[in-house]
């Protein structure tokens, strides 16, 4: 199989680099400065076992590959807000022997949240989901890092909306050879919704900085409690913290990397890079949507969705709001709902 990594940023770059290091055929898809850096200097992957440069084919869209191969696997690693544009570009791409990518090729959604794969299923026939436990960082154009050791990450895989098949098992085999644990599960959504609850803190980090200290941790617990109340009311299953800890163990321990500081999560990185967008609409916004559908107030997640999106749109400095100010706004939002 040939893996086409659509969105060779932090997660996509690390997955692509590790797959290439494991002997798989990989094509990277990127735009702008990242495309130019990957084309001219290759993909530089910084991990605990060293720095590796992978000279891989790089394109900025399907036209750069011409007719796709029947054994291609599309790995969608763009942020959810960029999903539709990627689907529109790659879905109609012709495949050798007839048909299109949307009709014939497997599409693996390696994204945060739960919406990207649902969007994909509108046009792609063979959609697979990933629960991404992968601490990855976009260091600079052409350079990505992953600090996890002894494994780079844990990527639960499954068909979307449910089930497993031989294709996903073959993909898992390749990932297992590339320093990942890749459990194939029929109930992938349980793992993804648990990860969604964890990702609700991304907006807190993006707006106020690292989630450290008692006050920050207590606030994050309030935000996640709102999320669990929504999922419970909606009847949506999610794995428990105990089940997650049992699976992770000490398999992905963060190791300090020279010249590749972790910094923060995906939303924090988006603000630092000044991309103009952030994932909050599909993380905290997913909880807000479910809350409205099922009659559960979600003032904290609605506030975080608004603040993170505003920070991105206005190019505000990541972490520049004092935690005390965020807590004050949250208390006011909760009080307004209670009135």
Q: What is the reported pLDDT for 258?
A: 78
- Cα separation, 307 vs 313, whole angstroms: 10
C-alpha distances (whole Å) from 308 to each of 225, 274, 278, 316 are 19, 12, 7, 10
**Which portions of the chain are predicted below pLDDT 70?**
260-263
DSSP H/E element including 109? strand 106-109
Q: What is the reported pLDDT for 225?
A: 98
- Which residues, at least 6 apart from 300, have a Cβ–Cβ distance to it below 8 Å? 222, 223, 226, 330, 333, 334
| pTM of this structure | 0.94
Q: What is the reported pLDDT for 21?
A: 97
Of 155, 227, 226, 233, whose CA–CA distance to 197 is shortest? Answer: 227
Examine residue 142 and say whether the peptide bond preceding it is cis (omega within 30 degrees of 0): no
Q: How far apart are the first and last CA of the chain?
A: 58
* 136 HSE (CA, 13 A, CB side): 29
């Amino acid at each position: 199989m040939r893996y086409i990594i659509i969105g060779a940023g932090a997660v996509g770059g690390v997955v692509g680099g590790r797959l290439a290091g494991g002997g798989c055929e990989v094509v990277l898809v990127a735009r702008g400065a990242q495309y130019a850096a990957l084309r001219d200097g290759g993909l530089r992957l910084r991990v605990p076992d060293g720095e590796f440069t992978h000279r891989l084919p790089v394109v900025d869209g399907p036209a750069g590959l011409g007719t796709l191969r029947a054994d291609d696997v599309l790995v969608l690693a763009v942020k959810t807000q960029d999903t539709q544009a990627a689907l529109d570009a790659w879905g109609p791409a012709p495949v050798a022997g007839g048909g299109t990518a949307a009709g014939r090729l497997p599409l693996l959604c390696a994204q945060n949240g739960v919406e990207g794969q649902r969007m994909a299923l509108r046009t792609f026939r063979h959609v697979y989901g990933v629960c991404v436990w992968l601490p990855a960082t976009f260091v600079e154009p052409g350079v990505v890092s992953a600090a996890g050791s002894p494994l780079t990450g844990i990527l639960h895989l499954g068909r979307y909306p449910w089930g497993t098949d031989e294709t996903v098992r073959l993909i898992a085999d390749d990932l297992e050879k590339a320093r990942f644990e890749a459990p194939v599960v029929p109930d992938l959504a349980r793992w993804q919704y648990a990860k969604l609850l964890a990702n609700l803190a991304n907006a807190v980090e993006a707006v106020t900085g690292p989630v450290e200290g008692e006050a920050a941790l207590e606030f994050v617990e309030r935000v996640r409690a709102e999320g669990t109340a929504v999922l419970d009311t909606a009847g949506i299953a999610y794995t428990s913290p105990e089940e997650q800890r049992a699976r992770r163990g000490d398999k992905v321990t963060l190791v300090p990397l020279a010249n590749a500081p972790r910094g923060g999560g995906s939303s924090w990185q988006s603000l630092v890079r000044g991309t103009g967008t952030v994932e909050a609409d599909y993380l905290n916004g997913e909880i807000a949507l479910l809350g409205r559908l099922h009659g559960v107030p979600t003032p904290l997640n609605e506030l975080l969705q608004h603040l993170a999106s505003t920070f991105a749109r206005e190019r505000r400095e990541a972490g520049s709001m004092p935690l005390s100010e965020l807590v004050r706004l949250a208390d006011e939002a909760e009080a307004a709902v209670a009135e």
